Amino acid sequence: MSIADVQVKKLAVHRDGRGYLFEGLRADDGLFSGKYGQCLISVLNSGVIKGLHRHQKQTDFTLCAKGKVLYVATDGTRARKFLLDGADPMLLKIPPGVWHGYQAIEGEALLVHNMDSVYDPADTEVMDPHAFGNLWHLHGVENV
């Protein structure tokens, strides 16, 4: 390999009132020849809830790279809550079928999501973030 083998791809940024995100690398990207599905970077504005949603096939691996995030996983009857902190990172594995969502709790936050498959809207079901009651408070956060 030489410097001539370096490839560059401009990344598209998707913005809305909640913040912005961009795809870092996808398994179907011409620059990649590996086995995993996708890496997604999500920047969250303070107080905004993203979720709830679940996937039928996709497994998510998520970490917070900057800021603090309340991350909620639920089956509709029970909830597990995690405080993701960029200063003290941990990785969450969210299997298919689990409702999940997150909220930046102190200023802007940055999440990195790696998935075992390329995002498919047909595999994603979305629900109102309050469908299972008010899950969006720090009471009951697990100390991991």
- Sorted by where each begins, the domain ranges of the chain are 11-121
pLDDT in tens, 74-113: 999 989 899 988 888 888 889 889 999 999 998 999 999 9
Give the pLDDT of residue 121: 95
Q: What pLDDT score was predicted for residue 29?
A: 75
**11-121 domain in CATH 3.40.50.720?**
no
Q: What CA–CA distances, in Å, run from 44 to 49, 65, 121? A: 9, 11, 21
Contacts of 35 (CB under 8 A, 6+ apart): 27
How many CA atoms lie less than 13 Å away from 84 in the CB half-sphere?
28
Q: What angle is formed at CA 51 by the lines to CA 23 and CA 132, rounded to 5 degrees?
A: 165
Q: Name the phi and psi angles at 92, rounded to 5.
A: -105, 135
User: Structure pTM?
Assistant: 0.81
CA distance 91 to 117: 18
